[in-house]
A and B are shown apart, each in its own frame.
Chain A
Amino acid sequence: MFNNRKFYIAGFVVSLFLAGVVSFYASSSPDGLEKVAGDIGFIETAKDHSNADGTLADYGVKGVDNERASVGIAGVIGVIGTAVVAGVGFNLIARKPKKDGN
C-alpha cells in the first residue's frame, strides 16, 4: 500500500508526464466523431469555436513555434488547471458542516 502522499504525487506526476510529454505522440487522425462527420458530410455544419484564436486553442500555446513544446506546455497547463478546479471543488463538496457550529 502506498501512503497517501506518495500515491497522489505519483498520480499527479503520471498525469503531467502523459499530458506534457506523451501527448506529442498522440495520433493525429480524426477522432470517431470527426471521422463520421467527415465521411457522412455533416462536418460542414461545424462552426469555428468562439475561442478558436485563444492562447491555448487546440492544445497549443500561441507564439510557441516548437510543436513539442507547444503541446507539452498546453498539456501541463491543463493538468494544473484541472487539478486546481477539481481539487478545490471536490474538497468543498466533501467538507462536512461541523456540528459544534463552526
Chain B
Amino acid sequence: MDQRRDGKSVSATRKLGGAIRLPVADANCLHYPFPMHIPDGFIDPQTSAVFAGLAATGVAAALKGARSQLDEKTAPLAGLTAVFIFAVQMLNFPVAAGTSGHLLGGVLAAVLVGPWAATLALTVVLLMQGFLFADGGLTALGLNVFNMGIVGVWGGYGVFLLVRKALPKNKSSISLAAAIGGLLSVPLAAVGFTIQYALGATATFSTATVLSAMVGTHVLIGIGEAIITGLTVSAVLASRSDLVYGWKNNKQKLEIRNV
C-alpha cells in the first residue's frame, strides 16, 4: 500500500492538501473521488494575493450584476445550479491512462442562470470545497476562483454566445452551443493556471512545458465537460425552459427584432 497503481509514492501525492487519503488497512482504495483544485504552495504568496484581489473584484462585480439580473423566480435555480455543480464535481471521470477530470460547471451555470450568478455559484462551490473538504488551498482560493469562476465562466460563456449566434434559434442549438462553450472553458481555465504559474510558480519548470501539458490534458477533460453541460442544459430546457437564461434572452432578442 505504499505505492499507488501508477507507481507514485503515497507521500508525494498526500501532500496535495491531503487530496488522497489511503488508509493503510484499506485494500479497496480504488474508489475515491478527489477533485483537486490548486493547493497551497504551487504559486507564491504575492501572486496569490494579486489574484485574490482580482477574484474579489470579479465577485463584487458579479454580486452587483446578479442583483439586477436575478429575480425571485430565477434565484432558486441559481441555488440549485451551485448544488448540482458541487455534486457533479465529485464525480471524476477517466480521460486517459491514469488521468481523470471533473466538471468545472462554469458554462453550465452561465447558460442556466446568467454569467453573473454563475461566477457567484462557482465561488460558493469553491468556498465549500476549500473550507469544508480541504480541496483547494485557502491561500489559493483567489487563484481557483479566478480560473474557474471568472475565466471559465466568462470565456466559455463568450464562446456560447458566438456559437448560439451562428446556429438556428431553437432549443437544440442552445444545448449544442453550451456544450461547445463548456468544451473550450476547460482549456481556458487551464491557461489561467498557466499564467499564474508563469507569474509566480515556486517551481522552476518552463512555462511552455506547463502550458502544453495543461492545455493538452484539459482539452480531453473538456470533452466530458461538453457532454455533461449539453445533457444538463437539454434536460432543464425540456422541463423548465422558462427558467433558462441562455434561452430566454435569445428569444427576447428575436421578439424585439420581429416587432
Spell out A's residues near B (CB within 8 Å). 1-2, 4, 7-8, 10-12, 14-16, 18-19, 22-54, 56-60, 65, 67-68, 71, 74-75, 77-79, 81-83, 85-87, 89-91, 93-96
Contact = CB atoms under 8 A, between A and B. Distances in A.
A71 B71 CA distance: 35
Contacts of A19: 86-87, 90
A77 B87 CA distance: 10
A55 to B, nearest CB: 9
Contact of B79 (A36, A52, A87): A87
Given A18-B91, A81-B128, A42 B203 contact: yes
Contacts of B120: 89-90, 93
A16 B17 CA distance: 25
Interface in B98-152: 98-102, 117, 120-121, 124-125, 127-129, 131-135, 137-138
B42 A93 contact: no
B87 A94 contact: no
Contact of B18 (A14, A53, A81): A53
Nearest to A41: B205
Given A23-B90, A46-B15, A86 B124 contact: yes
Contacts of A33: 36-38, 190, 193, 214
Interface of B: 6, 8, 12-13, 15-21, 23, 26, 28-42, 63, 66-67, 70-72, 74-76, 78-80, 82-84, 86-88, 90-95, 98-102, 117, 120-121, 124-125, 127-129, 131-135, 137-138, 190, 193, 197, 201-203, 205, 209-210, 213-214, 217-218, 220-221, 239-240, 242
Nearest to B99: A35
Contact of B42 (A23, A28, A45, A71): A45
Given A29-B99, A35-B98, A47-B15, A22 B91 contact: yes
A78 B31 CA distance: 18
Contacts of A41: 203, 205
B29 A28 contact: yes
Given A2-B240, A86-B121, 17 more contacts: A7-B240, A18-B84, A24-B31, A28-B100, A29-B100, A31-B99, A37-B42, A40-B209, A41-B205, A42-B197, A43-B12, A46-B39, A75-B87, A77-B132, A78-B87, A79-B86, A96-B72
B214 A91 contact: no
Contacts of A68: 31
Contacts of A34: 13, 16, 19, 36
Nearest to B72: A94
Contacts of B90: 18-19, 23, 26, 59, 75, 78
A25 B31 contact: yes
Leading 10 A-B pairs by shortest Cβ distance: A49-B17, A42-B203, A47-B41, A94-B75, A26-B33, A52-B18, A86-B82, A57-B134, A27-B100, A19-B87
